[in-house]
Amino acid sequence: MPPIKRTKFKLSTEQLLEMFRWLKLIRAFDERLSILVKQGRVRSGVYTGIGQEAVIVGTGFGLRKEDFICPLHRDLGAFLMKGVEPRVMMSQMFAKVTGLSKGRDSALHSGVSELGIFGNTSMLGANLPVAAGLALTFKMERTDNVVVAYFGEGASNVGDFHEALNFAGVQRLPVIFVCENNQYAYSVPLEKSMAIDDVADRAESYGFEGVSINGNDVLAVYQSTLGAIARARSGEGPTLIECKTYRWHGHSEHDKAFYRSDEELAMWKSRDPIPTFTTYLQSRGVLDDAKLKEIEARVTQTIDDAVEYAANAPDPVVEDAVTDLYA
């Protein structure tokens, strides 16, 4: 098993700013959703990924339109990065006809095959064998497309995870398993559900490499993903990337997260991926105050527009419940 090489990369000023915009947009989208839930305006369960944005941006940035992602409940940002308009995503949360599933479903189960987004079910881990299946299709069709499958450290304890990794390892499939290790599976801390420290260690038993990285460092996530993508595209098979991170909010917006301490939360907030990247960009002369203000204003405008669009969009009608069915 050749070790993962540290992939060299160079990003232009525009690409770095693009990454920054995504971090800001995804954070703002979740923050607004959190407010909208409290206002009773959202008709979906909301599982924010605030604090985890660098994982989504770092793993999504190097993907092509033809590549597939298999996102989970906390990965709305991955939908946005893959091309779902904020208006459409917000409509999905409002259960309006302008949403992905036209108001017939909670936010968490929608997919868009034309954009390479597989719609997940509620069964955690069940997206992983599907990801392996998609990757098998890509291999059989002799394309060099890849699949990125997201999961939490909690989901890495279910059987589907192990079956998917085993199959992907045996078949050398072009799939990148991205663990968003945010330390908790609902209220269960990592050490109560796993007897090892690193989910990444699990890859070795399936014959491929796993790496454990700082999931709050967007460039580190990007670098590891680039290496994994290059391996997958060239037929060298899967990689597991474990991104150590933290979710700032509870499991969902109704969870006050009393099972963790204020000190722990404060410690992780001090590792917020966005200020870290902001400082980096400022120190390299990529971002100045004027540009920062411009990006923040554009993000706010995008979110305001998405909320207004979703709020004013029509509700589904009863007849819609039986359209788009497969006979």
Question: Please, which residues bridge with residue 244 across strands?
Answer: 181, 214
Contact 225, 57 (CB under 8 A): no
Minimal distance in Å, beta carbon 107 to ligand TPP? 14
User: Would you say 155 or 241 has its CB closer to ligand TPP?
Assistant: 155
Q: Which of residues 175-194 bind ligand TPP (CB under 6 A)?
A: 180, 182, 184-186
Nearest approach in angstroms of CB 78 to ligand TPP is 12
Q: Which is nearer to ligand TPP, 101 or 156 (CB)?
A: 156
CA nearest to 190, candidates 264, 128, 272: 264
* Cα-Cα-Cα-Cα dihedral sign, residues 65, 100, 89, 122: negative
Length of the chain in residues, anyone? 327
d(CA 47, CA 57): 17
Query: Rule CB under 6 A: is residue 123 a binding residue for ligand TPP?
Result: yes
Nearer to ligand TPP, 110 or 182 (CB): 182
**Nearest to ligand TPP of 149, 310 (CB atom):** 149
CB of 39 to ligand TPP, least distance (A): 23
Q: Does 155 engage in binding with ligand TPP (CB under 6 A)?
A: yes
What token pair was written down for 260?
């963790």
Burial (0-12, 13-18, 19+ Cβ within 10 Å), 162: middle
Residue 92 or 120 with smaller CB distance to ligand TPP: 120
Binding mask 277-316 for ligand TPP (x = CB under 6 A): ----------------------------------------
Quick check: 62 binds ligand TPP (CB under 6 A)? no
Count Cα atoms within 13 angstroms, Cβ side, for 199.
29
Report the site for ligand TPP in 133-152 (rule: CB under 6 A): 152
236: amino acid identity, one letter: E
Per-residue CA distances from 268 to 162, 250, 260, 272 (Å): 29, 14, 12, 7
Residue 74 within binding range of ligand TPP, rule CB under 6 A: yes
Smallest distance, Å, CB 152 to ligand TPP? 2
Would you count residue 154 as binding ligand TPP (CB under 6 A)? yes
In 3-state terms, what secondary structure has residue 163?
Answer: helix
Q: In 172-261, which residue ranges form alpha helices assigned H by DSSP?
A: 190-193, 218-233
Binding-residue total with ligand TPP (CB under 6 A): 16
Residues in the site for ligand TPP, rule: CB under 6 A? 74, 122-125, 152-155, 158, 180, 182, 184-186, 251
